Amino acid sequence: MTHIGFSVAGQPGTLARAGDPFLDFSRLGYHAGHCYRRGLVMVDANLNLDAQESIKAQEGVPSPDQIETAGFQVTERDIVFECPNCGGELAIDMDGAGMEVDCAHCGAALIVPEYRGPSLQFLQAATSKLAKAIQAARNASPKKFHFEGRTPDDLNRRQNELQQALRESQTQLMEIKGHIHHATIQLHRYQLKLEVIQESQSELQAELEAIVQALHQT
């Protein structure tokens, strides 16, 4: 079984195997310091390639999904939560929602919470990597194209590939615009709910102050 050294509870170099009882999670990952487990393979986050190095190793311009997931162990599908007993950070695929598992840190039994969208950890890391990728693309020198020695068939084939890639890119563009529109409406909804709560707080505070004043007059 594949295994590597990692840190648990501040003990560097602790060696763990996927078969160890306290790691007996089904499709479960967890963080212990810089460690993460998914399925039956332990990986050390420090051994991952830097996101930019992974991106540079790819041919052509990477997709947003490739940029977001390069070199990062927590995915958009993961539920990241804390053990209610010891406070240890755990992560499990969204399919594990509702499962009863044992905490990899303290061994206590717990119920995996429901999936409520991408975790804050994923969003922060993905946003940072996307911003860096955009900046790197803008700072890069204009790409030059050389077609010497290419046959007409080669050029026609490449033309078809580029046209297909553009169609796929347009589909992704429309999908992202749809997400932005939905998120904008959702953000406005939350802002209105916030204002409603603030108005309610103002009324409650005003009534509380009136009661305090009335009590002082008695």
Domain boundaries, the chain: 5-153, 154-218
Count of other CB atoms within 10 angstroms of residue 13: 8
pLDDT at 28: 37
| Whether the Cβ atoms of residue 106 and residue 124 lie closer than 8 Å to each other | no
Run of H or E residues at 83: none
Which residue, chain included where needed, has tokens 């295994």? Answer: 3
SS3 for 207? helix
Distance of CA 126 to the CA centre of its chain: 6
pLDDT at 192: 97
pLDDT at 74: 78
pLDDT at 29: 38
Q: Which of 30-34, 119-123, 173-177 has the lowest mean pLDDT?
A: 30-34
Strand partners, 93: 78
Count of other CB atoms within 10 angstroms of residue 138: 7
Query: Which tokens go with 184?
Result: 């904008």
What mean pLDDT comes out for the span 8-12?
32
Our CA dihedral for 130, 133, 134, 140, rounded to 10 degrees, sits at 180
pLDDT at 60: 58
Run of H or E residues at 168: helix 152-217
Query: Which tokens go with 118?
Result: 């991408």
Rounded CA-CA distance 38/48 in Å is 15
SS3 for 79? strand
Would you say the C-alpha torsion 176, 178, 179, 183 has a positive or negative sign?
positive
- Would you say residue 7 has pLDDT above 50? no
Distance of CA 10 to the CA centre of its chain: 24
pLDDT at 72: 56
pLDDT tens digits along 72-99: 567 888 999 999 999 998 888 899 999 9
pTM: 0.54
Count of other CB atoms within 10 angstroms of residue 92: 25
pLDDT tens digits along 123-180: 888 888 889 889 988 898 888 898 999 999 999 999 999 999 999 999 999 999 999 9
